[in-house]
Amino acid sequence: MLEIKNLHARIAEDGTEILRGIDLKVNAGEVHAVMGPNGSGKSTLSYILAGKEDYEVTEGEIIFHGENLLDMEPDERAAAGVFLAFQYPIEIPGVATMEFLKTAMNAQRKARGQAELTIPDFMKLVRAKAADLNVTMDMLKRPLNVGFSGGEKKRAEILQMSLLEPSLCVLDETDSGLDIDALRIVSEGVNKLRSPERAMIVITHYQRLLDHIVPDVVHVLSKGKIVKTGGKELALELEKNGYADYVGEAA
C-alpha cells in the first residue's frame, strides 16, 4: 500500500536535513510502529506523508496505492485515504467540533464524487462512534480542540479517524498526555479500526502504547534513518535498554 524509498528531506526555511534516507514498506492490514528518541524525525516523517509545506523532499519517493504521493496536495492525499492523528492537535476557535466533522466528511465525499451526508445520517454516525470513545455531546458542541484536555484532544483525533475511515492511519504520539484509562479507550478505538484493508503507522516514544496496540513490525528511527527493524519484541528490548545503542549506531 505504502512504499517509502530512500526519502531525504530538509526544512524548507533553513535547509537543515532531517530525514536521511528512509526506506519503509507497509502492506495493507499491517501495523508498523516507529520508535525513536526525541528529535529523531518521527513527526517530520508523518508531516511529509500528509504534505506539510514546511519540508522539502530532496531525494527519494513515496508510492501510495500505486501513485506518487508527493505529487498530491494535502487535501487530495486526505481524500485518497491518508489520515494523520496529530501529536499536537490544532485549535479551531468558533468552529464546533460537530461542524468541523461534518465539513471534513463532506469535503472528502465531494472529492471522491459521493453525495453529501444527510444530517440524520451524519448524526447517527457521529453518535455511535463518539459513544465508543467517550466523547460527549457537550464536547462535540465545543469549538474543536479549544480548551480540550490532552486526553480530549487525542480522543477527538481518533473520532475523526474513525469517521473518515482512511486506508492509511498515521498516529503521532497518540499516547502522550494520556492517563491509563484514556490510553485504554483510545487504543480500543484504534484497534477497532484494524482491518485487512487498512494500514497503520504508530509513532511513539514509549513502548507502553504498544501493549495495547500490538504492532506487526517495529522500526527504530534515529537521526533521520531507520537503524533497526524487528518484531514486537524489539519494542520490549528498547524499553529495557533505552535508545543508547541505536543512537550510537547511527552516528
Partner 1 sequence: MPAVQETIDQVKAIDVDQYKYGFVTDIDSEKGAKGLSEETVRFLSAKKDEPEWMTEWRLDALRRFRTMEEPDWARVDYPKIDFDALYYWAAPKSVEGPKSLDEVDPELLATYEKLGIPLREQEILAGVEPKNRVAVDAVFDSVSVVTTFKEELKKAGVIFCSISEALREYPDLVKKYLGSVVPVTDNYYATLNSAVFSDGSFVYIPEGVRCPMELSTYFRINEQNTGQFERTLIIADKGSYVSYLEGCTAPQRDENQLHAAVVELVALDDAEIKYSTVQNWFPGDSQGKGGIYNFVTKRGDCRGKNSKIAWTQVETGSAITWKYPSCILRGDNSVGEFYSIAVSNGYQQIDSGTKMIHLGKNTSSRIISKGISAGRSSNTYRGLVSAHKKASHTRNFTQCDSLLIGQECGAHTVPYIESKNASAVFEHEATTSKISDDQMFYCLQRGMNEEEAVALIVNGFVKDVIQQLPMEFAVEAQKLISISLEGSVG
Ligand X SMILES: Nc1ncnc2c1ncn2[C@@H]1O[C@H](COP(=O)(O)OP(=O)(O)O)[C@@H](O)[C@H]1O
Choosing from 4, 22, 31, 79, the residue that interacts with partner 1 (CB under 8 A) is 79
Q: Evaluate whether 223 touches 251 at the Cβ level (below 8 Å).
A: yes
Closest C-alpha to 47, from 25, 5, 18: 18
How far, in whole angstroms, is CA 7 from its chain's centroid?
18
Q: Evaluate whether 104 touches 81 at the Cβ level (below 8 Å).
A: no
Q: Evaluate whether 171 touches 194 at the Cβ level (below 8 Å).
A: no
How many angstroms separate the CA atoms of 43 and 198, rounded? 21
Considering the complex, what minimum distance in angstroms separates the CB of residue 200 from partner 1? 16
Is 39 a binding residue for ligand X by CB under 6 A? The answer is yes
Choosing from 41, 81, 166, 215, the residue that interacts with ligand X (CB under 6 A) is 41
Choosing from 90, 119, 180, 251, the residue that interacts with partner 1 (CB under 8 A) is 90
Position 92, amino acid: I
Segment interacting with ligand X (CB under 6 A) among 20-28, 40-48, 133-141, 156-164:
40-48
- DSSP structure string for 71-131: GS-HHHHHHHTEEEE-SSPPP-TT-BHHHHHHHHHHHHHHHTTPPPPPHHHHHHHHHHHHH
Choosing from 40, 43, 204, 222, the residue that interacts with Mg ion (CB under 5 A) is 43
Segment interacting with ligand X (CB under 6 A) among 35-43, 141-149, 189-197, 225-233:
35-43
Segment interacting with partner 1 (CB under 8 A) among 68-76, 147-155, 229-237, 240-248:
68-76
- Output the CA–CA distances (angstroms, integers) from residue 49 to 74, 129, 181, in the order listed: 9, 26, 30
78 binds, among Mg ion, partner 1, ligand X, none (CB under 5 to 8 A by kind): partner 1
Q: Evaluate whether 13 touches 45 at the Cβ level (below 8 Å).
A: no
How many angstroms separate the CA atoms of 96 and 124, rounded? 17
Segment interacting with ligand X (CB under 6 A) among 34-42, 117-125, 130-138, 209-217:
34-42
Is 204 a binding residue for ligand X by CB under 6 A? The answer is no
Is 54 a binding residue for ligand X by CB under 6 A? The answer is yes
Is 222 a binding residue for ligand X by CB under 6 A? The answer is no
Choosing from 10, 22, 35, 43, the residue that interacts with ligand X (CB under 6 A) is 43
Complex with ligand X: residue 11 or 131, whichever CB lies closer: 11
Per-residue cell: 59: 531525494
Is 151 a binding residue for partner 1 by CB under 8 A? The answer is no
> Looking up cell 479517524, which residue turns up?
161
**How many CA atoms within 13 Å lie on the side-chain side of 30?**
17
Is 93 a binding residue for partner 1 by CB under 8 A? The answer is yes
* Residues making contact with partner 1 (CB under 8 A): 50-53, 73-75, 77-79, 83-84, 86, 89-96, 99-100, 103-105, 107-108, 111, 143, 160, 164
* Residues making contact with ligand X (CB under 6 A): 11, 18, 36, 38-44, 54
* Residues making contact with Mg ion (CB under 5 A): 42-43, 87
